[in-house]
């Protein structure tokens, strides 16, 4: 492992430790996800700032508000990355109220609201929400039994694209055809949403994804075939050489093995380490925020990936 990647892993572990000081929770998925949020914003977690953000959420929401519970730690982490945490929450609550006119209240809608604070002005939200509902209904028409409230956040992110809504849903269908049988339909739908946001030819991305999966397996790493696959799909959407990805994933997994949270009988097992390694590499390979890439398809794919990670907190699959 080169020194830059090792420092990146060390920053991740430091972030985890800071988050654990503030959020004493049983759901272990929260810590790696929140640690990665700070990495993706090129910042380091600070326990005192996280405490302040947690306090702001408590003071501005009711006990049963979806901004609390499972989403409180990710929300506080996103707020802590902002220069104006209180303003970010206020704007997210405003956006949330508008989105609720089109979608049911949910933790996923909280994530969509928080993401939108970095990508849209207040004057645009009603139009975004309306288009999001159109895209959601198109997805539901194709796959009624697997399209649920958890897909609302992806519909919101897809609505930010300037592409035709029907064309995007058609691209998702191409992904279903290309990946049929590789995993369950729910995971294929998530992969299809991420690939559609990436803005590259679907067939090529599916082929590269399969190639990466096989290369990882052939290297002796038993990467899972269910909830962890969308993470790998997001990783495959970048332009890093597959050989480099496989080598780096092996190095990161081995490096984490003896670190807190991964060692001993109560530490994360090898498969979880591999998922976390894919998560870290996805962020490590991401374009710099200085590139003003928020408006590009590649950054939308990264944002979708981050959202997927935060959604995983509710089912403890990271």
Q: What is the pLDDT of residue 130?
A: 97
Q: What is the pLDDT of residue 296?
A: 44
pTM metric for this prediction: 0.91
* Location of structure tokens 């369950």: 184
Report in angstroms the alpha-carbon separations of 113 from 99, 110, 125, 182. Answer: 8, 5, 10, 32
pLDDT (tens place) for every residue of the chain, 318 residues total = 999 999 999 999 999 999 999 998 766 778 998 999 999 999 999 999 999 999 999 999 998 899 998 889 999 999 999 999 999 999 999 999 999 999 999 988 998 999 899 889 999 999 999 999 999 999 999 999 999 888 998 999 999 988 999 999 999 999 999 999 999 999 999 999 999 988 889 999 999 999 999 999 999 999 999 888 999 998 998 889 999 999 999 999 999 999 998 988 778 889 999 999 999 999 999 865 444 434 344 455 556 666 666 666 655 556
Q: Where are the domains of the chain?
A: 161-318
In sequence order, what are the residues at sequence separation of 6 or more whose Cβ sits closer than 8 angstroms to the Cβ of residue 136? 103, 147, 151, 152, 155
DSSP string, 112-134: HHHHHTTT--GGGHHHHHHHHHH
DSSP assigned state of 265: T
**Integer Cα distance of 245 and 258 in angstroms:** 21
Maximal CA-CA distance, the chain: 52
Report in angstroms the alpha-carbon separations of 66 from 16, 25, 34, 63, 159. Answer: 23, 17, 17, 9, 23
3-state helix, strand, coil in the chain (%, to 5): 70, 0, 30
């Amino acid at each position: 492992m080169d020194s830059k990647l090792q420092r990146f892993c060390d920053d991740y572990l430091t972030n985890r430790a800071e988050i654990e000081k503030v959020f004493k929770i049983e759901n272990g998925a929260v810590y790696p996800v929140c640690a990665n949020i700070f990495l993706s914003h090129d910042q380091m977690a600070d326990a005192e700032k996280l405490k302040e953000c947690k306090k702001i959420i408590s003071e501005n929401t009711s006990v049963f508000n979806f901004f609390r519970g499972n989403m409180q730690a990710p929300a506080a982490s996103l707020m802590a990355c902002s220069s104006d945490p209180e303003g970010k929450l206020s704007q997210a609550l405003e956006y949330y109220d508008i989105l609720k006119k089109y979608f049911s209240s949910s933790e996923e809608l909280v994530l969509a609201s928080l993401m939108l604070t970095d990508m849209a002005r207040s004057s645009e939200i009603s139009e975004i929400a309306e288009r999001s509902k159109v895209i959601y209904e198109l997805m539901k028409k194709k796959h009624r039994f697997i399209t649920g409230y958890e897909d609302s956040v992806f519909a919101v992110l897809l609505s930010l694209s300037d592409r035709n809504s029907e064309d995007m849903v058609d691209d998702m269908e191409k992904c279903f055809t290309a990946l049929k049988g590789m995993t369950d339909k729910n995971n294929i739908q998530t992969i299809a949403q991420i690939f559609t946001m990436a803005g590259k030819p679907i067939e090529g991305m599916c082929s590269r994804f399969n190639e990466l999966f096989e290369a990882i397996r052939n290297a002796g790493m038993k990467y899972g075939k269910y909830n962890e696959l969308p993470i790998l799909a997001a990783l495959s959407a970048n332009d890093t050489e597959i050989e480099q990805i496989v080598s780096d994933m092996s190095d990161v997994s081995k490096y984490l093995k003896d670190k807190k949270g991964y060692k001993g009988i109560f530490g994360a097992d090898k498969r979880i380490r591999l998922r976390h390694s894919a998560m870290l590499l996805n962020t490590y390979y991401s374009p710099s925020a200085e590139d003003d890439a928020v408006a590009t398809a590649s950054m939308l794919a990264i944002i979708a990936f981050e959202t997927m990670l935060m959604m995983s907190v509710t089912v403890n699959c990271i």
